[in-house]
Amino acid sequence: MDRRVIGGLKTSRGCPTTRRRRPAQDRRGPPPLKYHPYRRDTSAEAAESNCVQPTSSSFLLRVFQTSCALILRTFGILFARYLTFLLPSSSVMSLNGFGEHVRSASHAGSWYNGNQRDLDRQLTKWLDNAGDRFGTARALISPHAGYSYCGETAAYAFKQVVSSAVERVFILGPSHVVALNGCAITTCSKYRTPLGDLVVDHKINEELRATRHFDLMDRRDEESEHSIEMQLPFIAKVMGNRRFTIIPVLVGSLPGSRQQTYGNIFAHYMEDPRNLFVISSDFCHWGDRFSFSPYDRNSNLPIYEQITNLDKQGMSAIETLNPTIFNDYLKKTQNTICGRNPILIMLQAAEGFRLSNNHTHEFKFLHYTQSNKVRSPSDSSVSYASGCLFVHPK
């Protein structure tokens, strides 16, 4: 079976392929201005003028100095504007290291409804039909496909969010656009949605950046990526008019040691009940277009039921809240769960939180579906699951 892996992310025909990080653009700026220092004029006319009217010469010198200052100031402003045009927008930042750019809702109108009223009505319907609330979610797993495929499933997880208990939302999404070795944070000040702008928590971003384990997202890749954006309308909907901030985190490939590193970092934030973690992930991507199509030809079960069993094994591994068990499952099955690394960060963080606090944890999956019921090897489908982490003090 031909399966290519780039930066820990599976790629295949028919899917957007992960590409390498772009090199930074030229930061040298414009060529330096050819400036010659002032040289005294030694001509006879100048000598005569200097002898006859020394006061006029002094006045002219001050005029010259003032003119130079104005020219340099003007040039400085123009140079700054030139840098703004020349450099990537992610490089033009405020003093605290993060800019004032607003990330657009780049997938609105295609992956989900871009009309505010229609989107709100659609989300309301799904949330109303998502059953009862079982508790207060501290973390959740939600799919990130087009809403026509997975919106109903995502609603089951977001139904467990108690908005009055949340002040910050960490959103961890896998990178489909660019290969990353680790995690990256945004330089934007806001993320736009049809239901309103969500404000980025720059204080938390600074704290994460200070660990030296987080890169900064490239602005163009950030606009193209969908895994984080697809969670935003649901977050805006369930949070309503309450004041809160978001911390978008793009997650790349993570060797075992880095999983634990990031888990330890986020365990500190998971301890705070005011923080909600949203983990963005689809489950099995099955079919030739994903270079993943295992099935038992001798089984009496149709292929879509075999896919269901494969996913349910992974969901059971996640419900143990043991990162080793989930890692072993992934190695054994190679299931194409695109958000496996964000999930592993959540499991590592929950494990660290559990070991340092007198609490019990429970992860419960609430809904599962597939984009298509595969019956033929030529078919394809993507699976969607939603679930929540609940924390119970002893």
pLDDT tens figures, 347-375: 999 988 777 777 788 999 999 999 999 99
Tokens of residue 74, six digits: 């003007």
Q: What is the pLDDT of residue 34?
A: 35
CA distance 281 to 118: 25
Whole-prediction pTM: 0.76
The answer to whether the Cα torsion of 352, 357, 358, 361 is positive or negative is: negative
The residues near 142 (Cβ < 8 Å, ≥ 6 apart) are 153, 154, 157, 158, 231, 234, 278, 279, 280, 281, 386
The answer to whether 123 and 234 are in contact (CB under 8 A) is yes
Q: What is the pLDDT of residue 64?
A: 62
pLDDT tens figures, 204-233: 999 999 999 999 999 999 999 999 999 999
* Mean predicted confidence (pLDDT) in 187-198: 97
Tokens of residue 19, six digits: 């590409």
State which amino acid sits at residue 149: Y
Q: What is the pLDDT of residue 256?
A: 78
CA distance 216 to 219: 9
359: phi then psi, degrees, rounded to nearest 5: -135, 160
Instruction: Give me the residue label for tokens 């595969």.
Output: 374
Q: What is the pLDDT of residue 157?
A: 98
In this structure, are strands 168-174 and 359-370 parallel, antiparallel, or unpaired? unpaired
State which amino acid sits at residue 62: R
Nearest to 327 by CA among 8, 20, 5: 8
**Does the pLDDT of residue 51 top 90, yes or no?**
no
pLDDT tens figures, 95-136: 344 567 999 999 999 999 999 999 999 999 999 999 999 899
**Does the pLDDT of residue 189 top 80, yes or no?**
yes
**Does the pLDDT of residue 50 top 50, yes or no?**
no
State which amino acid sits at residue 40: R
Residue spans of beta strands (DSSP E) within the chain: 4-6, 9-11, 102-103, 139-142, 168-174, 183-185, 190-191, 198-199, 214-216, 245-251, 275-280, 285-286, 359-370, 381-393
Count of C-beta atoms within a 10 Å radius of residue 22: 11
Instruction: Give me the residue label for tokens 């963080």.
Output: 349
Coil vs helix vs strand at 386? strand
Count of C-beta atoms within a 10 Å radius of residue 287: 22
Least confident of 71-75, 301-305, 310-314: 71-75
Nearest to 111 by CA among 32, 194, 190: 194
pLDDT tens figures, 246-293: 999 999 999 878 999 999 999 999 999 999 999 999 999 999 999 999
Write down the mean pLDDT value for the chain.
83
The answer to whether 270 and 277 are in contact (CB under 8 A) is yes
